[in-house]
Each structure stands twice: as structure tokens, then as C-alpha cells.
Amino acid sequence: MPRPLSRRALLAGGVLVGATGWLGTTGCTAPGTTQTPRSESPRPSPSGTRSPSPGGSPARVLLAYFSRAGENYYYGGRRDLEVGNTELLAGMIAELIDSDVYRIEAADPYPDSYDATVQRNVAEQDSDARPAIANPLASISEYDTVLLGSPIWNVRAPMIMNTFTDSHDFTDKRILPFVTCAVSRLGSVERDYAAALPGARLGDALAVRGEEATQHRAEVQTWLRTAGFLTR
């Protein structure tokens, strides 16, 4: 089985966000103007080295996330991303704390087309599907804390996140969700994880508007500080 990436390492990938029948749905951060640029998101600088976080990390931490690039929702329009919004947010978090970084990848990749992904996601939600993971982890037993990252698609995390949570024992582990969204903030993520992971300890969650993923470093730092990862 593939092992998680070395600490603070980043993987290629992306995210899709939107609204009803869309991938997403009621205010993340301040809304922007409606436009349809075709541009690339900046990719965070990858790091394959292991080094301590600024505030030190007292527990063994796994940062696990799903992200999708390609055609994305963008303030009512669309744009193409080389790197997905959730991956950008995960990269920011990985720069700030000491963690193993694992990107959840679909065995059957989601389409580049926004509309096609919307259709597939609706079908997966309606059938309570568990999309296969291409690079499953053998175990998460060595971790005390798991940061779970994903976009919000039609008010929920993508169904592949259920595949991941169903595949492991989260008993006594601290779970910290983080999401990128369009207009749905956390959607049903906190409720869904609480139901799916009854033996886990669910901590504070973070929601960031996908279009503005790189603009909220201070908010990310506050979230990590509240969780005890940063001291200043």
C-alpha cells in the first residue's frame, strides 16, 4: 500500500465547488464579483523534508485531503485550475505544522468538466456511493490527530471522503475538518463526520471560500492556534 507523503510534502490535485445541483451551497467568506476568467491558481512550493512546525506539534498528525483541479466554479462563472483550491489550503496548513500529508485520489478520476462532475456527484450522493480510492492507506493507527480536508459539493463533502472514513478506525482520534466552499460554508460536514465517526473526538472545523483559498492565512493560523498546533 502507498505510504503517506513525507512531512510537509504536497501533491498535485484540485477541487470543485459550487451550489445546488452544484458542488457547494450559503456564504463562506465575503462574496466577490461575477466573472469568468480562465486562469491558473498559484501552486504552493512543495517540500519533501521533515521539519518541526513553528509552534511544535505534540501529537502525530495526518493531514488527509481530497482535491480536484480542472474547470471550477468561480464567483458565478468558471475557470480552469492547475491546482485545486483544497490542495492550496492543505499546502498552507502543511507549511505551518508538522504532519504527514496524504492526498486521497479517486480510482476513477473525476472529469475535468464542471458540469460532468456535478452530475457524477449528484448520482453518487443519491446512491450513497463509496467511490474507490486509488492510493489507499493501509492504516492510520499511528496517528493521534487527523485533519480531514475536502471541498463542499452540493452541501456535503464528496462521497469519496466517506470511503476514506469507512476504511479506518478513528476511535479516540481527534478529527479536525477543513473545507473549501462556494456558498455553503461547512455544509453538513460536521454532522456527517459526527455520525460516521462516533468513537472520534470532533474538533473545530474551518471553512474557506475556494476562490480565496490563498487569502486566508491568518484565519488558518487562528484555527491551528486554537487547535493547539501554534503558540504564536
Q: Inform me whether the pLDDT recorded for 21 exceeds 50.
A: no
Q: Would residue 173 count as lying in a domain?
A: yes
Average pLDDT for the chain: 81
Q: Summarize pLDDT for 54-107 with one digit per residue, the tens.
A: 344 446 999 999 999 999 999 999 999 999 999 999 999 999 999 999 999 999
Q: Would residue 19 count as lying in a domain?
A: no
Please give the helix or strand (H or E) that residue 178 lies within, else none: strand 174-181
CA distance 197 to 65: 17
What is the total count of domains within the chain?
1
Q: Would residue 230 count as lying in a domain?
A: no
Mode of pairing for the β-strands spanning 77-81 and 70-74? antiparallel
Q: Would residue 106 count as lying in a domain?
A: yes
Q: Give residue 204's domain range.
A: 61-213
Q: Would residue 30 count as lying in a domain?
A: no
Q: Would residue 219 count as lying in a domain?
A: no
Q: What backbone phi and psi angles, to 5 degrees, belong to 149?
A: -115, 140
Least confident interval from 36-45, 60-69, 93-102, 211-220: 36-45
Q: What is the CATH classification number for the domain harbouring 91?
A: 3.40.50.360
